[in-house]
């Protein structure tokens, strides 16, 4: 057991230009399973197995924040059997992984709604977040029942009910009402499974994120693939609407 939580990747300084925050749309589980003649839920299980190793790769590479899109506000429209399987898998991960993740210094966080989740799952999420809140390693946010539009609407409703006046509202105030309060915007958004869309993920926060899409399906997205995404990120010139330092382009 490491003496200081989060110390397992201390001492390996990140390469220059390592993104502080990587967010991943973990897509392609169903197709991964179908290609193997397996039920879709087998793909979700294999995808879930992959979370631990990608979280370790991220921490090792010096990434500080990792956000994983696990279930969208639109995913409730899937067949009941798939939805209940996914809820069960999430419960299993929390039960089976939290302690080990905590020992590795990971701070767990949930973004999205909890009110539509079964009560025991809500409690398990709360407990995992509480247990790991003082950890100093990777901040791992799981987006479950998350939608970017829902998040913005939820923020606006709370702003209205708090009675804020228009001149009290600016971007950073609004950000404090988002589920991602305290977490910097993602530098890099990775999508596995090949689709070139956000599917309602981090709509506000993605304003200046770099995008990386790979055809590799989530269960096959290993450390090598993760490092490839970081390498591509390092070749990007982020301008945020200004000019690059050389002024050339």
Q: Is the Cβ of residue 201 or residue 226 nearer to Mg ion in the bound state?
A: 201
Between 75 and 102, name the residue whose CB sits nearer to ligand IPE: 75
Position among 22, 45, 69, 186 found at the interface with ligand IPE (CB under 6 A): 69
Helix axis angle, 80-103 to 119-132, nearest 10°: 20
Among 21, 22, 27, 186, binds Mg ion (CB under 5 A): 27
> Is residue 147 close enough to count as binding ligand IPE by CB under 6 A?
no
Number of residues this chain uses to bind Mg ion (CB under 5 A): 1
Alpha-carbon span 65 to 187, nearest angstrom? 10
Q: Residues 153 to 212: which contact ligand IPE by CB under 6 A?
A: 193, 195, 197, 199
CB of 33 to ligand IPE, least distance (A): 8
Total residues in contact with ligand IPE, by rule CB under 6 A = 17
Report how far residue 104's alpha carbon sits from residue 192's, in angstroms, rounded to the nearest whole number. Answer: 26
Site for ligand IPE in 24-63 (CB under 6 A): 25-31
**What per-residue string of b and e applies to 127-137 under the rule 16 or more CB within 10 Å gives b?**
ebbeebeebeb
- Please state, as a whole number, how many other Cβ atoms lie within 10 Å of the Cβ of residue 224: 9
145-174 binders of Mg ion (CB under 5 A): none
Helix (H) or strand (E) holding 174: helix 171-176
Task: Say which entry of ligand IPE, Mg ion, none residue 98 contacts (CB below 5 to 8 A, set by partner kind).
Answer: none
**Residue 215 known to be catalytic:** no
| 29 belongs to the catalytic site | no
Strands 188-191 and 65-72, by their bridges, are unpaired
Report what 50 binds from ligand IPE, Mg ion, none; CB cut-off 5-8 Å by kind: none
- Least distance from ligand IPE to the Cβ atom of residue 25, Å: 5
> How many Å apart are CA 152 and CA 110, to the nearest integer?
16
Neighbours of 151 (CB within 10 A): 24
**What residues are annotated to the active site?**
27, 75
């Amino acid at each position: 057991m490491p003496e200081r939580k989060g110390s397992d990747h201390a001492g390996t300084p990140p390469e220059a230009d390592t993104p502080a925050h990587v967010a991943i749309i973990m897509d392609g589980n169903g197709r991964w399973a179908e290609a193997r003649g397996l039920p879709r839920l087998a793909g979700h299980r294999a995808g879930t197995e992959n979370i631990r190793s990608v979280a370790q790769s991220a921490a090792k590479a010096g990434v500080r924040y990792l956000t994983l899109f696990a279930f969208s506000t639109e995913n409730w429209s899937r067949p009941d059997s798939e939805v209940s399987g996914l809820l069960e898998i999430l419960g299993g991960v929390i039960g089976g992984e939290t302690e080990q993740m905590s020992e590795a210094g990971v701070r767990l966080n949930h973004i999205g709604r909890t009110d539509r989740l079964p009560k025991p799952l809500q409690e398990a999420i709360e407990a995992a977040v509480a247990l790991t809140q003082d950890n100093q390693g990777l901040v791992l946010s799981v987006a479950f029942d998350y939608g970017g539009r829902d998040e913005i609407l939820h923020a606006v409703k709370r702003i209205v009910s708090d009675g804020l006046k228009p001149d009290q509202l600016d971007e950073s105030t609004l950000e404090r009402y988002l589920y991602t309060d305290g977490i910097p915007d993602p530098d890099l958004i990775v999508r596995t499974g090949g689709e070139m869309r956000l599917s309602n993920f981090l709509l506000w926060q993605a304003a200046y994120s770099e995008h990386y899409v790979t055809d590799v399906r989530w269960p096959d997205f290993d450390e090598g693939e993760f490092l490839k995404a970081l390498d591509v990120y390092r070749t990007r010139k982020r301008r945020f609407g200004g000019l690059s330092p050389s002024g050339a382009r």
